[in-house]
Amino acid sequence: MAEQPTMRAAVIDAFGAADTLRVTEIPVPAPGEREVLVRVHAAGVNAIDWATRAGQGVGVAEFPAVLGWDISGTVAATGAGVTRFAVGDAVFGMPRFPALAGGYADFAVAPEAELARVPAGIDHVTAASVPMVALTAWQTLFEHGGLLAGQRVLVSGAAGGVGHLAVQLAADAGAEVVATASGDNHDFVLGLGAHRAVDYRTEPVHEVVRDVDLVVDPRGGEDFHRLLGVLRPGGILVTLKGESADHRRSARERGVRAGFTYVHPDRAALDRIAALLGEGRIRPSVQQVFSLDDVAKAHSIGEVGHVRGRLVIELNDEESQ
């Protein structure tokens, strides 16, 4: 019998600190029906990755587990019934979320319906930085928030992964964007298209911003309650952190609305995001690129909570151009 091929992957054997991540050899997965095997050239590192590693994110059914949802790479094999892609195509996406996708590995298997083509002129590191944060921003702004041109949006945490895409997508849609960020990040968020930047460390955002139609709240908790105060009557705050009857009640009492995004793979939105990326209408910012061996370093930097833009792991870089 032929030996099963193996690949390098960063795995965790239990929940724990960043040094729980270790690189080892595991079998290359095989694509099932309507799935493709992707040779991963780059994998985005998201907040949910380090939360899951620590046991505070999505459920993990068995160990060792391979984290990582954002992938960009080339199709290496196709399963039965695949019609959208062929071997050699450059693809990216956030497959399977919230089930594990195994992105921190040389190869990952993904449903073809949850991938899009990497636009011409976009490298894999850039593409891998996009799917989760852009889908989250998209679903928050347009699906839950119902954003329209001319409305005023407050993007909290605007220099972070979700925030820096939310600013660009909202500005591209014709909204007026108020961004909160540390002072050091003001030039960055204004350069992304924000019309005004507020330093949440030195100014009480809920006292200096008014008449907002839509708030993007990546933090929840106290922020949720405070930021309700910036909305105009009938406005909506969409949080990324927890949904509760208490939230909805607080919003109702103030004559505003509360929504919640839990990001999900979405082919139509990903195709639209890919088009915007290809047209240069959104430009993700990658703060730092790591090798697979340094994935623990990426987690340690990310979980401090002040990344500007994105962190990305580069794999198989000899072929990634």
Ligand X SMILES: NC(=O)c1ccc[n+]([C@@H]2O[C@H](COP(=O)([O-])OP(=O)(O)OC[C@H]3O[C@@H](n4cnc5c(N)ncnc54)[C@H](OP(=O)(O)O)[C@@H]3O)[C@@H](O)[C@H]2O)c1
Nearest distance, CB of residue 18 and ligand X, angstroms: 14
Q: Indicate the SS3 state at residue 186.
A: helix
Applying CB under 6 A, among 72, 74, 129, 156 the residue interacting with ligand X is 156
Applying CB under 6 A, among 172, 262, 293, 319 the residue interacting with ligand X is 262
Nearest distance, CB of residue 54 and ligand X, angstroms: 12
| 287 scored as a contact of ligand X (CB under 6 A) | no
| 306 scored as a contact of ligand X (CB under 6 A) | yes
Distance CA 222, CA 214 (A): 17
Nearest distance, CB of residue 4 and ligand X, angstroms: 34
| 163 scored as a contact of ligand X (CB under 6 A) | yes
- β-strands 22-27, 6-12 pairing: antiparallel
Applying CB under 6 A, among 52, 72, 126, 136 the residue interacting with ligand X is 136
Positive or negative, the Cα torsion across 66, 71, 74, 77?
positive
| 254 scored as a contact of ligand X (CB under 6 A) | no
| 160 scored as a contact of ligand X (CB under 6 A) | yes
Q: What number of CA atoms fall less than 13 Å from residue 26's CA on the CB side?
A: 20
Let me know if 187 is exposed, middle or buried by CB neighbors in 10 A (0-12, 13-18, 19+): exposed
Nearer to ligand X, 63 or 262 (CB): 262
Distance CA 211, CA 176 (A): 11
Distance CA 92, CA 117 (A): 6
Applying CB under 6 A, among 12, 36, 147, 162 the residue interacting with ligand X is 162
Applying CB under 6 A, among 100, 154, 169, 181 the residue interacting with ligand X is 181
The phi and psi torsions of 183 (rounded to 5 degrees) equal: -55, -35
Longest dimension (CA), the chain: 70
Applying CB under 6 A, among 21, 40, 43, 48 the residue interacting with ligand X is 48
Q: Judged by CB under 6 A, which stretch of 7-15, 44-52, 75-83, 112-120 contacts ligand X?
A: 44-52
Number of H helices, E strands in the chain: 10, 16
Q: Which residue is nearest to ligand X (CB)?
A: 160
Under the rule (CB under 6 A), what is the footprint of ligand X? 46-48, 51, 132-133, 136, 156-157, 159-163, 180-182, 185, 200, 218-219, 240, 261-263, 302, 305-308
